[in-house]
């Protein structure tokens, strides 16, 4: 198992408003900032897309990304392709659909729920990026509800509705529906990517941006 990511071995603390107790916040979360937030973009969670998070629904070019926030290879994919996918979204060059799976454990379920809670806040892109930035070991305690709310706070998501959504698992049905749709879509693991309905398979052990870009550009033809 990969150890919990703590930058420089430092643990910061915050005050738990409910109990008055001092609660440790991992330094990886402490490093999150809203300084690099883009303009808010509000996607939809679409039953027609198996409850995926859909950006630019009218675009003819469609990219489906199936992932789990605790999956290390999903982090590798995000590190390589995340900025490019964000560009496609913000410039409306493609319909991008994120299907957030949750098969690695309870913390995957919590993270998937929290990411869905970020959708109406217009900060799914930033929240999605942040969860991969702080990814630690599987079910290590990092993706607790308290920490997931704190991630949102540091991204400028401060509404009571977001915190309630995370703490009360209000997007739990969305998470379950995504999980149940994996088999139907032929998804056996993560990350799995489809471009216009066709599986994209890398040709090397690495996720190479130029290879992915070439596949996307070819699909535009």
Q: What is the per-residue pLDDT across 68-125, written as a single tens digit (0 to 9) for each? A: 999 999 999 999 999 999 999 999 999 999 999 999 999 999 999 999 999 999 999 9
pLDDT for residue 11 is more than 60: no
Look at residue 5 in the predicted model and tell me its pLDDT.
30
Q: In 87-163, at which residue ranges do the beta strands (DSSP E only) sit?
A: 95-101
Quick one: which of 33, 22, 30 has its CA closest to 6? 30
Query: In 3D, which of 123, 104, 107 has the Cα closest to residue 115?
Result: 123
CATH homologous superfamily of 45-220 equals Glutaredoxin (3.40.30.10)
Entry pTM: 0.88
pLDDT score recorded for residue 7: 30
Q: Which two tokens stand for residue 6?
A: 């703590």
Question: What element of type H or E holds 131?
Answer: helix 124-133
User: Angle at CA 174, nearest 5°, toward 170 and 73?
Assistant: 110
What is the DSSP-derived secondary structure letter of residue 20? -
CA distance between the termini of the chain: 43
Residue 199, phi then psi, degrees to nearest 5: -60, 135
Virtual torsion, Cα 47, 75, 107, 165, nearest 10 deg: -50
Residue pair 215/201 in contact by the 8 Å Cβ criterion: no
Q: For residues 143 and 186, what is the distance between their CA atoms, to the nearest angstrom? A: 28
């Amino acid at each position: 198992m990969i150890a919990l990511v703590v930058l420089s071995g430092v643990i910061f603390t915050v005050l738990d408003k409910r109990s008055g107790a001092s609660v440790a916040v991992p330094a990886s979360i402490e490093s999150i900032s809203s300084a690099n937030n883009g303009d808010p973009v509000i996607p939809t969670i679409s039953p027609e897309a198996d409850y995926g998070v859909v950006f630019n629904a009218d675009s003819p070019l469609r990219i489906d990304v199936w992932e789990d926030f605790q999956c290390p290879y999903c982090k590798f994919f995000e590190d390589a392709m995340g900025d490019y996918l964000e560009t496609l979204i913000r410039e409306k060059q493609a319909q991008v659909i994120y299907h957030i799976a949750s098969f690695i454990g309870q913390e995957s379920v919590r993270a998937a729920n929290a990411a869905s809670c970020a959708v109406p806040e217009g900060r799914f892109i930033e929240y999605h990026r942040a969860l991969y930035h702080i990814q630690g070991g599987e079910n290590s305690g990092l993706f607790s509800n308290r920490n997931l709310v704190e991630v949102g706070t540091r991204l400028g998501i401060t509404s009571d509705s977001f915190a309630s959504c995370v703490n009360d698992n209000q997007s739990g049905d969305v998470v379950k529906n995504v999980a149940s749709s994996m088999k139907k879509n032929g998804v056996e693991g993560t990350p799995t990517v489809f471009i216009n309905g066709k599986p994209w398979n890398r040709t090397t052990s690495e996720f190479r941006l130029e290879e992915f870009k070439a596949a996307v550009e070819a699909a535009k033809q």
